């Protein structure tokens, strides 16, 4: 399908979904950590046409957020994509299923911050998602302690692997997930939007 970045059988590719409104340095930090710790070949940013759980009334157009992502990213291994708009999918379980169909032999990993894990039980078919792709959760200030006590983490407790084994995550049979610690960032798009409004 047109719009799917170049890839090859056997590659390990992180799928990092987000509103990216706007993209910021912590998004880059998360991507780099995932590349290094999960031994990934690429991270594809899936810039969403609109998070199904958010009010997207004030969300800038996808093309504008894609342009901001392109301007921020300098590492050729990290690629911004509008694949969800091209596929016509909004829910992550559908997006991942479609990409796995279109890219046979690629080892995908879903990447998200601690707030994503805290909310995961509210996502459409989240059990199906966890059953089809390994998941890497990146520690995020103010979210992770709560996240590990929330329904999705509790349900998936037996599938959690030690972060020392993160290099094998992409090759594991799901469900499998890990929590990656490291230097943390308090940056958020909402804080950046507030600063912009005040300026
Ligand atoms: N500082 C951060 N540390 C770890 N993960 C982060 C951080 N900022 C964003 N993420 C993760 O990046 C992904 C995309 O996030 P998103 O584009 O919504 O940015 P955000 O800063 O969380 O935005 P907002 O403040 O509007 O909610 C999510 O999985 C989110 O958890
Ligand atoms: O599939 C779902 O039900 C679902 C619900 C909430 C969020 N998501 C995805 O989670 C990712 C992070 O979204 P955001 O807006 O917090 O950056 C993005 O790819 C969304 O499409 C997915």
Distance from Cα 54 to the centre of ligand 2, integer Å = 9
197 pLDDT higher than 90:
no
- The answer to whether residue 4 sits within a structural domain is no
Q: How confident is the model at residue 86 (pLDDT cuts 50, 70, 90)?
A: very high
Residue 123 domain boundaries: 12-198
17 pLDDT higher than 80:
yes
Q: Which ligand is nearest to the CA of 21?
A: 1
Distance from Cα 199 to the centre of ligand 2, integer Å = 29
pLDDT tens by residue, 139-194: 999 998 899 999 999 999 999 999 999 999 999 999 999 999 999 999 999 999 99
- Lay out the sheet containing 107-113: strands in order across: 78-81, 42-47, 12-18, 107-113, 135-138, 177-180
- The answer to whether residue 7 sits within a structural domain is no
Res 144: pLDDT: 85
- The answer to whether residue 1 sits within a structural domain is no
- The answer to whether residue 68 sits within a structural domain is yes
Does the ipTM surpass 0.90? yes
Q: Is the CB of 95 under 6 A from ligand 2?
A: no
Domain CATH for 145: 3.40.50.620
Distance from Cα 70 to the centre of ligand 1, integer Å = 17
Ligand 2 pocket, mutate which of 92, 127, 150 (most atoms under 8 A from CB): 92
Res 196: pLDDT: 83
> For the chain, what percent of residues have pLDDT higher than 70?
100
pLDDT tens by residue, 104-149: 999 999 999 999 999 999 999 999 999 999 999 999 999 988 999 9
Whether residue 22 has a cis bond before it, omega within 30° of 0: yes
What is the position in ligand 2's atom list of the atom closest to the CA of 124?
A: 3
pTM of the model: 0.98
- The answer to whether residue 75 sits within a structural domain is yes
Q: How confident is the model at residue 6 (pLDDT cuts 50, 70, 90)?
A: very high
Closest CA to 20 of 71, 68, 85, 91: 68
Q: In degrees to the nearest 10, what's the CA dihedral of 8, 98, 91, 123?
A: -80
Domains in the chain, number: 1
Distance from Cα 55 to the centre of ligand 2, integer Å = 12
- The answer to whether residue 160 sits within a structural domain is yes
- The answer to whether residue 172 sits within a structural domain is yes
- The answer to whether residue 164 sits within a structural domain is yes
61 pLDDT higher than 80:
yes
């Amino acid at each position: 399908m047109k719009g799917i970045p170049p890839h090859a059988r056997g590659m390990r590719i992180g799928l990092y979904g987000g509103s990216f409104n706007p993209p910021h340095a912590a998004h880059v930090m998360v991507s780099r950590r995932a590349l290094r710790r999960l031994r990934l070949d690429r991270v594809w940013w899936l810039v969403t046409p609109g998070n199904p759980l958010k009010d997207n009334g004030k969300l800038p157009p996808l093309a504008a957020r894609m342009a901001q992502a392109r301007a921020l990213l300098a590492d050729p291994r990290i690629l911004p994509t509008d694949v969800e708009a091209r596929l016509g999918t909004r829910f992550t379980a559908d997006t991942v299923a479609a990409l796995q169909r279109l890219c046979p032999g690629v080892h995908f990993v879903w990447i998200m911050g601690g707030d994503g894990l805290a909310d995961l039980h509210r996502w459409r078919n989240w059990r199906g998602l966890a059953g089809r792709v390994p998941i890497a959760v990146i520690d995020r200030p103010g979210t992770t302690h709560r996240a590990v006590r929330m329904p999705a983490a509790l349900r998936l407790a037996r599938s959690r692997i030690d972060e020392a084994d993160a290099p094998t995550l992409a090759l594991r049979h799901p469900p499998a997930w890990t929590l990656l610690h490291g230097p943390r960032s308090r940056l958020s798009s909402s804080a950046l939007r507030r600063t912009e409004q005040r300026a």
